[in-house]
Amino acid sequence: MKDLPDLVVDLVETSQKHEQYREKECINMIASEGIKSPAVTQILNLTQDLASRYAEGENDISGHVQKRHYQGQKYMSQIEDITTDIIKSLFGSTWADVRLVSGTHANLATFKGLSLASKNNKMVVTPLSCGAHISHDYTGLAGKILGLDNINHVYNIDEFNIDPDKSAYVIRAAKPGIVTFGGSLFLFPHPIKELKEICDEVGAYVAYDASHVLGLIAGGQFQDPLREGADFITSSTHKTFPGPQGGVVMGSPTTPALEKAVKKIQYAVFPLTASSTHLGRLPALGIACLEMKIFGKDLARQIVKNAQTAGQYLYENGVKVIAEKKGFTKSHQIALDVHAFGGGNKIAQDLEDANIILNKNLLPYDDQSSKENPSGLRVGFQDVTRRGFKEGDIKHLCDLILDVVKGKRKPTAVKEDVLALKKEFNCIKYGFQNIEEALTYIKKA
């Protein structure tokens, strides 16, 4: 191993190379990643003191700071309260907790809180093989850390969705404390409305993991979980929602049972799972909320349009795109079955060689033990959309993807075209270029 100073030189140089590579030279299509505006990045860089501070304590039922255990908090408490109010206002909830540092943390605190509130360790979830996140599953956080028993929703592979009638039967029989919706391979809105009554009947809390689709929800282009029956939304703030990396939980506690749940979730945040809550991200989260209030509808609409355009175009050009009968997707992502072209691992690697970055993905009908070479690819459109891609640009990008998938050209040759395409889209749309621009916009409005 090198000496420490030489390792630091390597670290700095490699970090610079990374910024150049992924930001300037690659087309980023990983569905779980986000893209911040220059204004959000600027304010993140300006909140360095905040990013070094601690704010342990308790919050009240509206999500505001109630008690702090350290001194020096007068502005920090205000910053947390204001951010909480901003996100509540954007999503129409009466309570939010912005102390979560990630989507997994939001799930950890929420699942723990709800299992305490319901005194019930059973949780109905989407099967991992059908798109749930590992944190929902008995093989991940839910089972291995929280000791929850998973019972699976019944999933209809043809519909690429939870089967509401059969899942109703499962929920009624299992009587869980929590029923979850949402996921990581997430093409169509989940049937919350259809299952809410059964959840109420058995006394289960409904938790909706919006990590992937929070930006689409903010833009009114997917489903509206809190109005459809979800008691709580858990989420990352950095996928389709273009904020800093972080997490959030939201809800509107209108009954004693929901108030109890909020208190248990808050307890699961502090003191159970958070000490530093990474406060430096909060002003950036607020600016991202403003951007979504102003530009969210257009951004989310174009993201979905771009995903659907790609689905149709790739399908017409001989690639098996999942859920063809259903129009491929209503979200920011599509799923491809590239088994016929060598499998997800090979194609994802070939595309990386062409500087198109996405991930291999198990599909519901895959042998679930073949994680290393599944049939699928998951492709996300939030990054390219925010850089200004419209339908015609998407088709051009799909032509490059097709060249690689079908082996028509070497990935290294396609890479030249990718570099040229990336150069054309070098500014970030649907957001503010700096904080001044955001503030001026507010003053004018």
Ligand X SMILES: Cc1ncc(COP(=O)(O)O)c(C=O)c1O
Footprint on this chain of ligand X (rule: CB under 6 A) = 32, 102-104, 107, 133, 135, 182-184, 209, 211-212, 236, 247
Taking the C-alpha atoms of residue 196 and residue 183, their distance in angstroms, rounded to an integer, is 18
Helix axis angle for 435-444 and 38-46, nearest 10°, is 110
Nearer to ligand X, 37 or 331 (CB): 331
The three-class DSSP label of residue 254 is coil
| Shortest Å distance, C-beta 278 to ligand X | 12
Q: Which tokens sit at 242? A: 């273009």
Helices (H), 334-410: 344-353, 382-386, 391-405
Find all residues with CB under 8 Å of 39, minimum gap 6, and list them: 287, 291, 431, 432, 433, 434, 435, 437, 438
Nearer to ligand X, 28 or 135 (CB): 135
Nearer to ligand X, 209 or 393 (CB): 209
Q: Which tokens sit at 413? A: 């040759």
Check if the beta carbon of residue 107 is closer than 8 Å to that of residue 73: no
Nearer to ligand X, 114 or 202 (CB): 114
The three-class DSSP label of residue 65 is strand
Helix and strand tally (H, E) in the chain?
Answer: 15, 17
Nearer to ligand X, 278 or 422 (CB): 278
Taking the C-alpha atoms of residue 386 and residue 317, their distance in angstroms, rounded to an integer, is 25
| Shortest Å distance, C-beta 134 to ligand X | 8
Nearest-CB residue for ligand X: 103
| Shortest Å distance, C-beta 141 to ligand X | 9
427 CB-contact burial (10 Å; exposed 0-12 / middle 13-18 / buried 19+): exposed
* Residue 95 DSSP code: E
Nearer to ligand X, 167 or 184 (CB): 184
Length of the chain: 445
Q: Which of 272, 262, 208, 285 is nearest to 97 (CA)?
A: 262
Nearer to ligand X, 183 or 219 (CB): 183
Rg (CA), the chain: 22
Q: Which of 212, 217, 203 is nearest to 236 (CA)?
A: 212
Nearer to ligand X, 141 or 319 (CB): 141
Nearer to ligand X, 57 or 244 (CB): 244
Q: Which tokens sit at 390? A: 């419209």
| Shortest Å distance, C-beta 427 to ligand X | 26
